[in-house]
Amino acid sequence: MSALTDLLAFQRQTEALSSVAERLGWDQETVMPRGATDQRAEEMGAMEEVLHERRTDPRIGEWLDRADPQSPADIRAVALIARDYARTSRIPARLASELARLTSLAQGIWAEARAKDAPEDFLPTLDQVLMLKREEAACLADGGDLYDALLEDYEPGMTGARLASLFDTMRPRLVALRDDVLGADQPQALAGHFPQETQLRLARACATAFGYDWTRGRMDLAVHPFSSGRWQDSRITTRVVETDPFNCLYSTIHEVGHSGYEQGIDPDYAFTPLGRGVSMGVHESQSRIYENQMGRGRAFTGWLFERMSEAFDGLNITDPDAFYATVNRVTPGYIRTESDEVQYNLHVMLRFDLERDLISGRLDTSDLVEAWNARFLKDFGVAVDRPANGVLQDVHWSVGLFGYFPTYALGNVYAGCLNQALRTAVPDLDTSLARGDATPGTEWLRETVQRHGGLMLPTEVIEAASGRSISPEPLLDYLERKFGQIYGL
């Protein structure tokens, strides 16, 4: 066999084992017994040790030297394997295993601390995670910026400086829009009791409307909604608050965007480096365009209004146009995942700045609660009422995902570019959305973005699909137009 054949066969097994490890993580966040935390940490550590050994196997370097890929897919696959081999080889096996073990433990500690509003129970563990992530970053940075080294795992080619410049450009228009909207008359809030089982039935209907393939997926409950898996097994989770059905329904649509991306990748790329979303920013572009530009648009909310009115035997909102305004209501709030489109990116910017300071050492974990609360008050004009609504609300830092947060806002920027092109390519999209059928939109995204998997660089995917250079202008224009109409600005 050729070196290329041997390399891809070896990679296929590594990808399969990686999927098994990911399934362990899904199990931990959904159905694992609470008492199994220590055991799962050992299992995750052992799996990571096996994967690290495979990813740094000296034969990979030998195969890479002799590989002679010819097709665009093989050329890109080899490039991705070489990139991962170079990065992983810099990380000691001890560090990789300890990170997997500790972050598995930390996730449970975070969940308990969040439930008890007790940051003091979590911060010592977070400090340990942070120390290991700094060590990992130092291994990868080669003397460069530590945060950039971690960001590379989630958005290849992006830097903290470029993101900071992007956010500085976006912030003034977002703040001005937020201030104008909050100074206007507010739409009526949805009120009532919305039983869990009814919400979940509606969530399944929404997932189906957005093309989720139930033969290759399932939906479960989690503290923090997420999607997991790829190829023939891509799962989603949601959460239920019985006074707020939008939390469940739009979390579901969001995760369907992620899972739909994985389900939409060319099946020929399964068990190769091309068989996954190319970056978290591109991933977020899919979840956000599903959730917001399509899911919170006037057409789809009209369909949702009818379904919710039937399911809950009437709502306190009796008009579909008023319901559309209610779905898009802008109010001060603590929780990023529940935030409206206007303020969401401001939540991300706060986390981006804090985690950069944590990685650089400018901020200690012992001062994190105070720093979070002060920044939140400055940015949102509201004092954090309790830690679960503040520093403890997100799972990301507990599992070591430093560098992940900014990709949420970057995904919104990408989604703005894609939505502009989508509306031109599919001018009658709202006609289908009004029937509860997002197929024309999801098929366009599948053809232009999702099927490519990792074949192109993140910016190449978005620019090819949208037909324009990446810019925040389409997103900001969309937000000002949409919320200006809703609030009569």
- Tokens describing residue 394: 């997100």
291 is an active site residue? no
> For the purposes of burial, counting CB atoms within 10 Å of the CB of 132, is it exposed (0-12), middle (13-18) or buried (19 or more)?
middle
Tokens representing 342 are 């206007």
Marked catalytic residue, from 255, 291, 341, 355: 255
The whole-angstrom separation of Cα 16 and Cα 238 is: 26
Closest among 356, 273, 278, 352 to 88, alpha carbons compared: 273
Closest to 47 measured CA to CA, from 71, 70, 23, 72 = 23
- Sheet containing strand 227-230, strands side by side: 219-221, 233-238, 227-230
- Determine the longest span between alpha carbons in the chain, in angstroms: 70
Q: Chain centroid to CA 78: how far?
A: 26
Residue 467: Cβ within 10 Å count: 12
Q: Report phi then psi at 72, rounded to 5.
A: -55, -40
Tokens representing 94 are: 């001890």
Q: 23 vs 39, 43, 292, CA distance in Å? A: 15, 12, 28
Cα three-residue angle 237-225-376, rounded to 5 degrees = 170
- How far is residue 94's CA from residue 139's CA, in Å, rounded to a whole number? 13
What does each C-alpha distance from 361 to 39, 125, 354, 422 come to in angstroms?
Answer: 32, 16, 11, 43
- Please name every residue paired with 238 in a beta bridge, in sequence order, or none if there are none: 221
∠ CA 456-457-458, nearest 5°, is 115
Residue type for 271, please? F
How many angstroms separate the CA atoms of 411 and 275, rounded? 20
Looking at residue 70, its amino acid is Q
CA–CA separation, 259 vs 249, rounded Å?
15
Which stretches of 426-472 are DSSP H helices?
Answer: 429-433, 439-448, 458-466
Contact 305/277 with Cβ under 8 angstroms?
no
Residues designated as active site: 255
